[in-house]
A = this chain, B = another copy of it.
Amino acid sequence: MSKPVFITRRERFNAAHKLYNEKWTEAKNLEIFGKCANPNWHGHNYDLYVTVQGEVDPETGYCMDLRFLSDLIEEKVIEKTDHKNLNLDVDFMRGKMASTENLAIAIWEQLEAGIAAKGCRLHCIRLEETENNFVEYYGAS
């Protein structure tokens, strides 16, 4: 009998971004994105919750060592996004709209292999942009 558990680690980063489609006029950008299209940027405190599924190791009581998970998120996501500009500075966001949706999907792709290498499975990326708005992504289907 299997007893799958889900463990979650929260990490945080602070970044600038704007929502702006270069193929559109400035007027259309303002119409679609409103104040999010401000050419001089704005920014957020992002709360990132990474949830991993696995079985409990009876020797440690752990599903996955949270120090490993924290270090992996630090290396693959936080170092690249914290105190950065999501449109200009982040290699894994190049060529994409810097929306919370796209950022959550891209973070999934940054983390999936490193978690699988430890015998666990990435279950969910939850990315909170403000206390009122957040995105969850459970992988492609």
- In the bound assembly, the distance between CA atoms of A33 and B65 in angstroms comes to 9
Count the copies.
Answer: 6
Chain A residues within CB distance 8 Å of chain B: 1-12, 14-17, 19, 21, 23, 32-36, 38, 40-45, 51, 56, 58-63, 65-67, 82-85, 88-89, 96-102, 104-105, 130-141
A16-B43, A45-B130, A61-B97 known; A38 vs B84 contact (CB < 8 Å): yes
Q: Is B60 a contact of A21 with CB atoms below 8 Å?
A: yes
CA of A84 to CA of B130 in the docked complex: distance in angstroms?
A: 16
Report the minimum CB–CB distance from A33 to chain B (whole Å).
8
Residues of B within 8 A of A35 (CB): 82-83
